[in-house]
Chains A and B, each alone.
Chain A
Amino acid sequence: MVYTKQVMEHFTNPQNVGEIEDADGIGEVGNAKCGDIMKMYLKIENNIITDIKFKTFGCGAAIATSSVATEMIKGRTIDEALKLTNKEVIDELGGLPPAKIHCSVLAEEAVKSAIADYYRRNGIESDLLIGCDGCCEGCDHNDKELHRPL
């Protein structure tokens, strides 16, 4: 299995690692059982993501996709961030090995999950889902807790 230069760059020098103490939205997706957990913290002002941090437990691709996804939505509006797809994350990294595609899905979902949390805190109605979509066969993704609509 070979990672692209971009994946290795984001893995060795990940951007936006950390926490935001007074975050406006926090999302956590994945499952330690499958070996991937992503947690994202958003600071939002006037509908714009002014700051973003992440913490990830996972493989090289999980760390790289977290890093690149945070870079891609930093300074963007919420609507723009919600349009981020895992495909764009993969493209930005110059590709991912097939077994690692689920990491890009997690990155997309971590972003959505953090925005969902922001909506919830601010009483904004939305049909955003929290959690992953069951792409990873390694664990029990039928867990309703992870899929509850807001």
Chain B
Amino acid sequence: MMDKFVYADNAATTSVSPLVLEAMMPFFNEMYGNPSSLYSIGREASEAISKAREKIAALLGCKAREIYFTASGSEADNWAIKGAAHANIKKGKHIITTNFEHHAVSNTMKSLEKEGYEVTYLKVSSEGLLSSADVEAAIRNDTILICAMYANNEIGTILPIKEIAAAAKKHGVICFTDAVQAVGSIPINIADLGVDMLAFSGHKIHAPKGIGALYIKSGTRVQNLIDGGGQESGRRGGTENTAYIVGLAKALELAAERLPDMERIKNLRNRLIEGIKKIPYATINGSLDKRLPGNVNVTFDYIEGESLLLWLDMNGICASTGSACSSSSLEPSHVILALGVDSEKAHGSIRFTLGHDNTEADVDYILEKLGPIVEKLRAMSPLYERIM
């Protein structure tokens, strides 16, 4: 086995915190009752869910009854977008979004387009940013929903959601933000933010995979996505996943407590960026200013991302790529392309996302391995040969 292991893919998922796991454990085999049941182990589960909901609401600055649990961030995205589109169809069929959303949003939009909705995809800048003025200018009389991600999953750039929400409110349009990457990384207060809906996920903040939540502001017209037995105030069917809901609340609590650690993570990120800049023909993608503290996204010219990832993996380093070759499609990352980067260069993009568990030694280890790997792959690249 390899002697060193550096996990630098925290935007993909995170490890489950031991404290989160500990909080969840009793709900698997002690208080395993159905929260809808009247007997004690059902009531205990139901109470645990209420407490979790209240805790999350207090941490995010909203009312407990405005938090709805889902099975994933993707489900929350689907619910918010399809639910708002279907509930407001009499007002119009126009939706505004950006061209660098997560697939849980962009493919939901495609699905609505097939139903006859019209979607405007606002282009982000070469820095991966968008102004609220651009959003406001796209609003029409028949616009029913504005949907912009809080922070991008690939390049970590942060959009001005508060200003976008204000523009939406001015025109009476529902504003939804996919905050899956932002929650836990930057301070968020929904009351201050002013959005009507906000989605987030557990496994990005050291809770398990399989739990997410959607904030829906009271009075927002949104249809159900999953009908069922009256759970979640009759708005999301399915027996509540008590243990995971408890885990999500605990993870969010820990994330809030550990928010000051983001300054350290940001310094680690900057150290990594400075080191990467010493490698020739490397470009950092996205704004360095308006960016999540842990995200580094870099394009190495003349090499392809998957080969780089495989070599990093063999050295015990986990990262991810926007190259087509790592996915089932043959298109490179739509996010990197949205920045105006050539598709041939987009194949060479790599993402490192640092988190609470990373150390300075991790960053130095990545830098120690990265340069020689890039050099090795360039030495066998016919593209590099052309410029030599």
Q: Which residues of A line the B interface, CB within 8 A? A: 1, 8, 11-12, 14, 17-19, 28, 32-39, 54-63, 99-100, 102, 136-139
Contact = CB atoms under 8 A, between A and B. Distances in A.
Among B331, B382, B384, max chain A CB count under 10 A is at B382
Interface of B: 302-307, 310-311, 314, 323-332, 343-344, 347, 379-385
Contacts of B304: 35-36, 57-59, 62
A58 B330 contact: no
10 contacts: A32-B383, A34-B324, A35-B304, A35-B332, A55-B380, A56-B380, A59-B304, A99-B328, A136-B330, A139-B343
A100 B327 CA distance: 10
B344 A56 contact: no
Contacts of A36: 304, 325
B344 A33 contact: yes
Contacts of B311: 12
A33 B341 CA distance: 11
A138 B327 CA distance: 12
Q: Which 7 A-B pairs have the closest CB atoms?
A: A138-B330, A59-B325, A32-B344, A59-B306, A35-B347, A39-B382, A55-B382
A61 B330 CA distance: 14
Contacts of A102: 330
Nearest to A18: B380
Contacts of A137: 330
Given A35-B347, A63-B307, A57 B302 contact: yes
A15 B122 CA distance: 47
- The DSSP consensus for interface residues of chain B is helix
Contacts of B381: 37, 55-57
Contact of B307 (A18, A37, A60): A60
A34 B330 contact: yes
Contacts of B306: 59-60
A35 B325 contact: yes
Nearest to B343: A33
A39 B380 CA distance: 10
A36 B302 CA distance: 11
Given A33-B343, A136-B330, A138-B324, A59 B383 contact: no
Contacts of B307: 11, 58-60, 62-63
The main secondary structure of chain A at its interface with chain B is: mixed
A35 B310 contact: no
Contacts of B383: 32, 37, 57
Contacts of A139: 330, 343
A12 B311 CA distance: 8
Contacts of A59: 304-307, 323, 325-326
Contact of A17 (B325, B328, B380): B380
Contacts of A138: 324, 329-331
A21 B169 CA distance: 67
Nearest to A54: B380
Contacts of A14: 380
A35 B380 contact: no
Contacts of A99: 325, 327-328, 330
Contacts of B326: 1, 59
Given A12-B311, A37-B383, 11 more contacts: A11-B307, A18-B380, A35-B330, A36-B304, A37-B381, A57-B303, A57-B381, A57-B383, A58-B325, A62-B325, A99-B330
A112 B381 CA distance: 20
Contacts of B344: 32-33, 35
Nearest to A55: B382
Nearest to A40: B382
B323 A63 contact: no
B332 A55 contact: no
A60 B377 CA distance: 11
B372 to A, nearest CB: 14
Contacts of B343: 33, 139
Contacts of A18: 380
Nearest to A67: B380
Nearest to A56: B380
B339 to A, nearest CB: 16
Nearest to B345: A32
A24 to B, nearest CB: 18
Contacts of B324: 34-35, 138
A61 B304 CA distance: 11
